[in-house]
Structure 1
Amino acid sequence: MYADRPNRTGGFNPGSLGIALLVNGAVIGALFFAAPRLLPFTPPDGPLITYVPYTPPPPPEPVRPADPLIRQQPRPGPRPDAPVPQVPTPTDTGFVVTPDPLPLTPPIGVEGTGTGTVAVAVDPPKPTPVFVQPGIDPRYAADFQPSYPSEERRAEREGRVVVRVLVGIDGRVKQVERVSATTDAFYRATLDRALAKWRFKPATRDGVPVEAWRSMALTFVLQN
């Protein structure tokens, strides 16, 4: 009933195990040498530049010119028979303005004729005042000749003097101005005589005595 165990055909075989290990090792080695070789990564020296292809934008659509036949229609205005809206305005402003009274002015003499025209009374122009220059009073005419200067008589020299005198309202000489004289001696003799003896009819303006200037010329002549 029992067989001999060492003579079985299905027992453990050490040779088969060695062959299996050898085949598996050969397959693993082949796979190891057949794998791709990986190289280490080295970063570049400069900046990394990425080029992107440029696609130009599409051209803009052309603008269509405005149609000259299309015109802007004017806005219609209000109708002439349309009622005008009435806006209420306040009448009570809360204060009253009192204008200043105008100064009373005298009438200027304007009269109405009833025909649509106005007659203005204009004062007549005043006449030019009448001025009369001072004149020699005939009562004192003999006193106008001054004394002949002795030094000029000894030198037998004749002369002429022209002066301007201011005649007061009483006819007396108030001031003497020298215009010309042959010598100073002739002028001094004339000046002394004018202030002491000359008398005039005073000048008048519209009949009223006033002060005025008058020119006088005297001649000194030797007589044999």
Structure 2
Amino acid sequence: MYADRYGKSGIKPGALSIAIGLNGAIIAALIFSTPDIVKSIDKTFIARPIPLPVDPPPLPDPKPKTETKVRTEQRVIDPPPRQRPTLTETVAPTNTGNFFEPGPPGLDGGVTGGTGTIEPPYIPPHVPVLVGARPDPRFAKAFQPAYPPGERRAEREGRVTVRVLIGTDGRVKQVERVSAASEAFFAATREQALAKWRFTPATRDGIPQEVWRTMSVSFVLDDAD
């Protein structure tokens, strides 16, 4: 068996009372000291409201820009008819360079300049009026030559074609042979044309002109003869 190292076991009443008393004193001290601690805490830490930064009120939306529309009226001003300028000098169509052309009166009161080609006004080509020579009806009976006597006796008939140059006075100036049935027929026709034939002269724009004309003459025997 072992001997008790610490003496007799068990709880001593005196020690228990001391322990309870100490614990009660500690608790009482804590209870009565609590207000002082709270007061000291209240005095030490004073809660003050910290002002928080307040956001500035939102700015009002900017007013939308109002576009001012200016109503413009376009008026078409008919310029007065431009008169064709009178050219005092001949200008080649291919001539190019700087030139000034007067603007319509009443618009800007000035002239406009530019570069371009000066062309003369268009002139349509002139078509001359030609009128051919015609036999003068007043001399119609004089166009038939006299029948050559030798051809009459031989009872030969024939036809002669000649070219005659008609002058500005209507008279025949030259006679050229084209064809003839005989020399006698051509001679009679040539003599009659130079002496008796008369024409209304040909004209070009009303001006008499010399022209060539082809004429034919027939020699026919009359049954009465």
Query: Could you tell me the TM-score, scaled by structure 2's length?
Result: 0.49
